[in-house]
Structure 1
Amino acid sequence: MRPICGAASGCAVHASGKGWCCAWRVQCCGSDKGEIRLTFSPGPFGRGRRLANPGILFYRGLSIISYLGAKDPGMGSEPFIFCPRCGARLTQRFMFGRERPVCPACGYVVFYDPKVAVGVLVEHEGKVLLVRRRYDPGKGGWALPAGFVEIDEGPVAAAIRECREETGLIVRIRSVLDVFPVSMDPRGPAVFIVYRGVPIGGSLQPGDDALEVGFFPPDGLPSPLVFASTRRALWRWRREKGFPERRFY
């Protein structure tokens, strides 16, 4: 299995020698050497790195070929047009309960899956830990320490890592607070798992993606609170503390 740009199927973008190919969202170089520019790839390759004849890509023994697709969360979601396995033009077919892109040549079925994101509601002495975001989305607003799960880690490990990166604190995860579907994020749909945690070490200080960090009481939360998932988690936390019901979303 090899990432290709669909040239074998008459990809007009490849024929023009420029632009973004619609099968893998790779930038065609205008040659037949297979040199492509990835717009998104997890693991060690990074965004926009040029690879020559990549073949099958592996990261720590895990094939990440299925992650190099059209669903780039940083550039919006566009549908596949060509099969990422053989390059044939995809057709729509009712399979597994809904219409899906299916390759008529090799039978490959495209599944558009949400990303997995995690956050931690860290409580200490009756206060909750919040981060003021340095970057969009939500730049300048306050949110729970949170981020996306990397390809080589589990959700709990990701939550601990994100909290330490953003706040400097080492936390112990105690339980799951809630799980929220996220559909309006510009980076793409996600499933957001919010854990309960307590600090067990580290030093409170903002990371390179945070402007400020701090602990806040239930009746003194900062503004604005960004992301519906953060507001819902804090609303639930306030209710558990016996504060008057106040919806943030």
Structure 2
Amino acid sequence: MEQRFFYCPKCGGNLKYKQYRERPRLVCLKCSYVFYENPAVGVAAIVLNKDKQILLGRRSTKLVDVSHQTSDVRRKKQTNSLTIPTTGDRRPTTLNKRLWCIPCGYVEYDEDVYQAVVREFKEETNLDIVLKGVFTVQSNFHNPELHTVGVWFMAKVMGGELQAGDDLDQLAYCNLADPPPLAFPTDKVVLDMLAKVFNTPFLEEK
């Protein structure tokens, strides 16, 4: 595993991989603090219309790309449209700009996971939702810089006016079997799962 963190958050000492119990872990050479590299938690809300199309958002071109930074630089920094797009280049880019995704985001450190998905969906779509249950939980390994565990919730719109915001610059209801170019491979897994079960009572509007 490529080392991503180099300084101890406790004392500022150097971190180095050492065998610790069942696997190599980053250990501070000064104070022996064990730095656990755990995945971040992401949340996404699945909203379907009456035609069983899913609401997707296009990732904004204004996202900042820091992938060009070298390891040394990273060390120093460690302390409203509804138009369906035409099929284009499906190769992922660093930040997946102009590719589409299920509206999603990260859970804050002091935030409840259920509150997080409602907040993130509001920020990206301007819609108020009520959650209907967890649809699936998946591990995401597509970004080597940040592994995540994603929780996809089924949701129903209760209010608000559809408008793209935050990381998204466009929104559209899309067919499950024929989505626009997707930013994240796990979203394709989720869409395939939805396509198989969308007629079940779990997904029906209540």
Give the alignment's TM-score, normalised by structure 1.
0.60
Is 1:78 equivalent to 2:78 in the alignment? no
User: By how many angstroms is 1:149 displaced?
Assistant: 1.1
User: By how many angstroms is 1:109 displaced?
Assistant: 0.7
Q: 1:138 to 1:77 in 2, by over 3 A?
A: farther
Give the 5 Å matches for 1:101-116: 101-116=26-41
Show structure 1 runs of 4+ deviating over 6 A: none
Q: 1:91 to 1:188 in 2, by over 3 A?
A: closer
Q: 1:106 to 1:165 in 2, by over 3 A?
A: same
Give the 5 Å matches for 1:1-249: 78-80=4-6, 82-125=7-50, 126-135=52-61, 137-185=95-143, 187-219=145-177, 221-241=178-198
**Structure 2 CA distance, aligned partners of 1:89 and 1:79?**
9
SS of 1:94's partner is strand
- Percent identity between matched residues is 32
**Structure 2 CA distance, aligned partners of 1:77 and 1:156?**
32
Tell me if structure 2 keeps the 8 A contact 1:119–1:145. yes
Q: Which runs of 5+ in 1 are unaligned?
A: 1-75, 243-249
User: By how many angstroms is 1:77 displaced?
Assistant: 6.3
Give the alignment's TM-score, normalised by structure 2.
0.71
**Structure 2 CA distance, aligned partners of 1:87 and 1:168?**
42
CA RMSD, Structure 1 to Structure 2 (Å):
2.2
Q: 1:224 to 1:77 in 2, by over 3 A?
A: farther
CA offsets 1:165-199 (integer angstroms, 9 cap, x no match): 11111111111111111112265111111111111
SS of 2:11's partner is coil
**Structure 2 CA distance, aligned partners of 1:94 and 1:158?**
35
**Structure 2 CA distance, aligned partners of 1:91 and 1:209?**
35
**Structure 1 CA distance, aligned partners of 2:106 and 2:189?**
19
Tell me if structure 1 keeps the 8 A contact 2:174–2:180. no
Q: Which amino acid aligns with 1:98?
A: R
CA offsets 1:2-27 (integer angstroms, 9 cap, x no match): xxxxxxxxxxxxxxxxxxxxxxxxxx
Tell me if structure 2 keeps the 8 A contact 1:206–1:212. yes
Q: 1:130 to 1:87 in 2, by over 3 A?
A: closer
User: By how many angstroms is 1:91 displaced?
Assistant: 4.5
**Number of residue pairs matched by the alignment:** 165
**Structure 2 CA distance, aligned partners of 1:176 and 1:228?**
19
Q: Which runs of 5+ in 2 are unaligned?
A: 64-94, 200-206
User: By how many angstroms is 1:131 displaced?
Assistant: 0.7
**Structure 1 CA distance, aligned partners of 2:151 and 2:25?**
27
Question: Which structure's relative contact order is higher, taking Cα pairs within 8 Å and 6+ residues apart?
Answer: 2
Q: Which amino acid aligns with 2:197?
A: E
